[in-house]
Structures are given as structure tokens and as C-alpha cells.
Amino acid sequence: MAIQMTINARDDAQILDNPGYGVPIKIFTTDIDADAIEQLKKVARLQFIHSHVAVMPDVHLGIGATVGSVIPTKNAIIPAAVGVDIGCGMNAVRLGLNASQLPDDLRRIRSDIERKVPVGFALHKQVKAKASTLSPLDKRLNTIIAKHPGLKRMLKNFDQTWQKQLGTLGGGNHFIELCVDEQAQVWVMLHSGSRGLGNCIGTYFIELAKKEAQHRFGHVPDKDLSYFAEGSASFDDYVEAVHWAQDYAYENRREMMQLVLEAIRPHFPPFQLSKEAVNCHHNYVQQEQHFGENVFVTRKGAIRAATDELGIIPGSMGTKSYIVRGKGNPESFCSCSHGAGRKMSRSKAKRLFTPDDLSLQTQGIECRKDGGVVDEIPAAYKDIDQVMANQTDLVEVVHTLKQVLCVKG
């Protein structure tokens, strides 16, 4: 479905003493609340926004910037728009297995995955990643720490922790799933990011941007939209650090996928992996060309959906997920949604729902059904079918997945 709503942020820009500035906000849904619209307007009024702000169908209010927004900037980057879960994203691979080969009782498989992959705040007892993975990351990180030694004080047992967290899940909405597609083929799908150190990098540079309060492009309507201007030392340092965290997140998912496969292989006959595999970010920034300009594109809860590019759009636990192929829609800056999107806060979900509700809504799925994950109940999320219907101009569905097992942090 095409753009359903366009808002011109210039119409009331004078409220913020910034007359004459404001780009359109192009929204691929009508399911958006007033607070998210006001948050988007603040971003759209920044003088360094290129062309327009694109808003995906899973949009909802975020911290700093709106989740589900795609923000193209010229000569500046907003650290809070990238956020603290830098490089958070998805990894999925199809196995050479049929649903008929799944055991009737999946509890042992879930237990073995949870033993193999630390969840929540846990980390490996020993470093699991190979030296060929760690060495280049370590070298680049040392360069970053030399310029910003305060980062090292933000993470307990710094060197051991970031290395031992490679191949770990984390908490919140991060997950590991076994899924079955429309052809009864089995997939492994997981969702995680840059763990503790990525959080530290995001937090550190967000606060640095607020402290420096660079004003090359004029007034900033919200301290959370503090930015680094290209040409400043902090801009260069942030780009270096955020790219490190994004690479770390990618390697974390790759390492975790190998551990999950090790955990499940004893439960199945020998199988090979399909060439159908995807590893993509949905909280990140990178340079791209759009509408004739080289810009920094920040995707805050959105994935890249360039022409023929594969991506992953997960639903909530208990609903469908999708492997998609991008259509390269220029109005979305070649982007699409990163999931269903929350329709209520975690605290509200905990007030409204009980473990019994969770058990009912995840019937038939091997997963936790206790109060610790009630905030992840499907009813706390938007309808994934409607989210997908709103972005038929952005992606086409390649595979529809339904989970049969879900590991949560």
C-alpha cells in the first residue's frame, strides 16, 4: 500500500522559533498516535534533514527518535536517533529439515538452546568467538578507547565482558526461534544486537552530543536530538564507534546462530543449511545515496529494503514472521518495517495481562509463559497482518514463518 499520510512539519515550525524549516513526513500507515507525530515533527524541523522523513507501518513513540522512522541527514548524525541498541537486528537461516521431523515435545530442544546461549544479562564463562573474529574487533576498539577512555569505565570487567558476550541473546524483545514456513521447511531465526558495550557506546555519545550542543545548523527542538556536525572530531569518533558496534552486533548474531545450530543438531537427523540466510540490522546508520545526494540514513526500527535485498520482519511471539524481498521504494529510502511494532508500553502490558493470557495467546508454542515475559505478549503489539498490508509497495513476501519454539531473555 502506498503512503497513507503526509504531514508538513513546516506548517507550525514557528512554535520552535525555527520559521521556514521543516520537511514532509511521509507515513505508510494511519495507525499512529499523536505523541509519535509530535516527535516526528521535531525531527522533520531540523535543518539538516534531506528531502523528507519516512515512517514505517510499525511506528510508535521512542526515546529520542520515533521507532519505525527513517531519517536522512546531510553533514550531521543524531546519536539518540540510532539509539543504544546499536546494530540490533535479525538473523535467519533455512534448515534442510521438514516440519514432520520435529519432535512432538520441543522442551528438550529449548532447554539445550538456553544452555548453549546465555540469555538476559548472562554471558559465556569462557570466550567462544574465534581469534579471527576477535582480533580485528579488538584492534579497532583499542583505537576508540584511546580517544574516549571513559567508555572503559562504563562496563564492568570491560575486556572480558564484551568478548564473553559475543554469542549471547540479551533480554527484552530479543529472541531465538524455531519456525516453519509455508512449505513446511524449518528455520532458525534470532533477534539481538550489540549487547552491553553497544549500549555503553550509544549512551556515551548521546550524552557527549548533549554536552557539546553543536549548533552549526541552528536551533535543536529537543535535547535528545543533539547532533554531531560533520567535520568535528566528535562526529568522526562517533562514526568510528557506531560502525564498530554495528559490526559487533552482526558478529554476535552470527556467533549465536552457530551455537543454536550446535544445540539442535543432536535432536535431528543430519541436515544441511540452505543458501537462504539473512543477517540484517534495524537500528543503525550508514551512508547512502538518495534523491541525488549522499546522506547518512538512520534507520530507527526499520530495515533496508533495496531492490531484491532480503530482509526479516518478525511478528510477536505467537504470530507470523516474514522473509521479504525489497522493492527499492525511493519514498521510504529503500526501507520497510522491522517488525509488528508495539501498541502499548511494557508497563501497561504487565498491568493488563497475566501469565494465563500469555499462555492462551502462545498456545502450541514451546516458550516461557511466566510473568517475566508478559510484556512480550502478542496483544502488546500491532497486528502484523495489517503492518504487512501497509507495506506492499515496499516489500514482497518470500516466506511466511510460524514459530513453534521461542527462547526469550
* Residues 274-310: tens digit of each pLDDT: 888 899 999 999 999 999 999 999 999 999 999 999 9
Question: Residues 105, 153: one domain?
Answer: yes
Active site residue 399: no
Q: If you average pLDDT over residues 62-69, what whole number do you get?
A: 92
Question: Residues 360, 281: one domain?
Answer: no
Question: Residues 351, 261: one domain?
Answer: no
Question: Residues 182, 228: one domain?
Answer: yes
Write out the binding residues.
85, 173-177, 191, 282-283, 314-317, 321, 338-341, 408
Question: Residues 233, 198: one domain?
Answer: yes
pLDDT of residue 20: 52
pLDDT tens digits for 115-148? 999 999 999 999 999 999 999 999 999 999 999 9
> Max alpha carbon distance in the chain (Å)?
67
Question: Residues 399, 372: one domain?
Answer: no
- Domain extent at residue 161: 5-343+381-408
Write out the binding residues for Mn(2+).
85, 174, 191, 282
Question: Residues 303, 361: one domain?
Answer: no
Question: Residues 185, 98: one domain?
Answer: yes
User: Side by side, which strands form the sheet with 395-408?
Assistant: 273-281, 89-98, 185-192, 175-180, 395-408, 320-326, 310-313
- Out of 60, 124, 338, 399, pick the active-site residue: 338
Question: Residues 285, 374: one domain?
Answer: no
CA 39 to chain centre: 19
- Residue 213: give its domain's CATH number: 3.90.1860.10
pTM for the complete prediction?
A: 0.94
pLDDT of residue 19: 46
Question: Residues 370, 238: one domain?
Answer: no
Report the interhelical angle of 233-264 vs 131-147 (nearest 10°).
150
Number of independent structural domains in the chain: 2
pLDDT of residue 15: 38
Question: Residues 250, 351: one domain?
Answer: no
